[in-house]
A and B are shown apart, each in its own frame.
Chain A
Amino acid sequence: MSLLLHGLIVVVALTGWSWITPKDDPAPRSIAARLITQQEPEPSRVVEEVDEPDRDEERRREQEEQQRREEAERKAAEEQRAREEAQRLEQERERERQEAAAARKREEQRAREQEAARQKAEAEAKERERQRAEEEKRRQEEARRKAEEERRKQEEERRQREEAEKRKREEQARREAEEKRKAAERRLREQQLEALAEEADRQREAEARQQREAAAAKAREAQMMSESQKYQALIRERLSQAWYPPSSATEEMTARLQITLLPTGELQSVKLVSSSGNTAFDNSALGAVKSLSRYPIPDDRATFERYFRQFTIEFNPRRLQ
Chain B
Amino acid sequence: MTNRTRTPRTLSAFYLVCSLLVWALVGSTTAHAELTIRITEGADAAIPVAVVPFAESGSIPTGDKISSIVQDDLTMTGEFRTLAPEKMLSLPSKRSEVYFRDWRLLGQRYVLVGELTRSGDRVQARYELFDVNREERILGESASAGINSMRTLAHHISDKVYEAITGVPGAFSTRLAYVTLQRSGSEALYRLQVSDVDGKRASIRLESDEPILSPAWSPDGKKLAYVSFETGRPAVYIHELSSGNRTRIAEFRGLNSAPAWSDDGRSLLLTLSKDGNAEIYRMDIASKDLKRLTNHWSIDTEASWDHTGNGFFFTSDRSGGPQIYHKSSEGAEPRRITFGSRYNARPRPDPEGKFVYYVHQRNGAFHIARTNLSNGEETVLTRTESDESPSVAPNGRMLIYATKQSGRSVLTVISADGGAAYSLPASEGDVREPAWSPILR
Taking beta carbons and an 8 Å cutoff, which residues of A are in contact with B?
220, 228, 232, 235-236, 239-249, 256, 265, 278-281, 283-291, 293-294, 296, 299-302, 305-308, 310-321
Contact = CB atoms under 8 A, between A and B. Distances in A.
B84 interface: no
Contact of B35 (A286, A288, A312): A312
B167 A299 contact: no
Contacts of A307: 35
B117 interface: no
Contact of A305 (B21, B134, B416): B21
B374 to A, nearest CB: 10
B167 A311 contact: no
Given A280-B165, A290-B134, A321-B418, A311 B41 contact: no
A280 B166 contact: yes
Given A265-B1, A283-B131, A236 B37 contact: yes
A240 B166 contact: no
Interface in B165-223: 165-168
A288 B6 contact: no
B415 A247 contact: yes
B397 to A, nearest CB: 5
A239 B37 contact: yes
B25 interface: yes
Contacts of B133: 286-291
Contact of A247 (B17, B32, B35, B166): B166
A262 B132 CA distance: 21
A312 B33 CA distance: 10
Given A248-B166, A316-B40, A308 B35 contact: yes
Contacts of A232: 35, 37
Contacts of B263: none
A286 B134 contact: yes
Contact of A317 (B17, B28, B41): B41
Nearest to B163: A280
A279 B167 contact: yes
Interface residues of B, number: 48
A296 B3 CA distance: 10
A312 B41 contact: no
Contacts of B244: none
A265 B417 CA distance: 36
B159 interface: no
B20 interface: yes
Given A279-B167, A283-B134, 5 more contacts: A283-B131, A299-B7, A306-B27, A316-B38, A320-B417
Given A287-B109, A290-B134, A293-B1, A228 B35 contact: yes
B34 A311 contact: yes
B17 A300 contact: yes
B83 to A, nearest CB: 15
Interface string B53-80: 0000000000000000000000001010
B40 A301 contact: no
B11 interface: no
A247 B79 contact: yes
Nearest to A287: B133
Contact of B167 (A280, A285, A316): A280
Point out which of B5, B6, B36 has the most chain A C-beta atoms below 10 A from its C-beta: B36
A232 B36 CA distance: 9
Task: Find the residue from A242, A300, A306, A319 having the highest chain B CB count within 10 A.
Answer: A306
B441 interface: no
A243 B16 CA distance: 38
Most chain A CB within a 10 A radius of its CB, from B25, B166, B418: B166
Nearest to B395: A247
Contact of A314 (B21, B38, B417): B38
Given A246-B168, A280-B166, A305-B25, A235 B37 contact: yes
User: Which one of A283, A308, A311 has the highest number of Cβ atoms from chain B below 10 Å of its Cβ?
Assistant: A283
B37 A313 contact: yes
B138 interface: yes
Contacts of A244: 42-43, 45-47, 109
B423 interface: no
A189 B18 CA distance: 49
A77 to B, nearest CB: 110
B20 A294 contact: no
A311 B79 contact: no
Contacts of A284: 42
B379 interface: yes
B40 A313 contact: no
Nearest to B417: A321
Given A243-B42, A311-B36, A317-B41, A302 B21 contact: yes
A93 B338 CA distance: 158
A294 B43 contact: no
B36 A317 contact: no
A245 B47 CA distance: 9
Contacts of A220: 16, 20
Contacts of B379: 321
A317 B134 contact: no
21 contacts: A228-B35, A241-B43, A243-B42, A244-B42, A244-B47, A247-B397, A256-B36, A265-B1, A278-B167, A280-B167, A283-B134, A286-B134, A291-B132, A299-B7, A301-B21, A311-B34, A311-B37, A312-B37, A313-B36, A316-B39, A318-B40
B2 interface: yes
B4 interface: yes
Contact of B2 (A279, A281, A285, A296): A296
B24 interface: yes
Nearest to B16: A220
A232 to B, nearest CB: 5
Contacts of A300: 17
B104 interface: yes
Could you say which of A247, A290, A317 has the most chain B C-beta atoms within 10 Å of its C-beta?
A247
A227 B21 CA distance: 15
A181 B222 CA distance: 117
Nearest to A280: B167
Contacts of B27: 306
Interface string B289-317: 00000000000000000000000000000
Contacts of A243: 39, 41-43
A200 B196 CA distance: 88
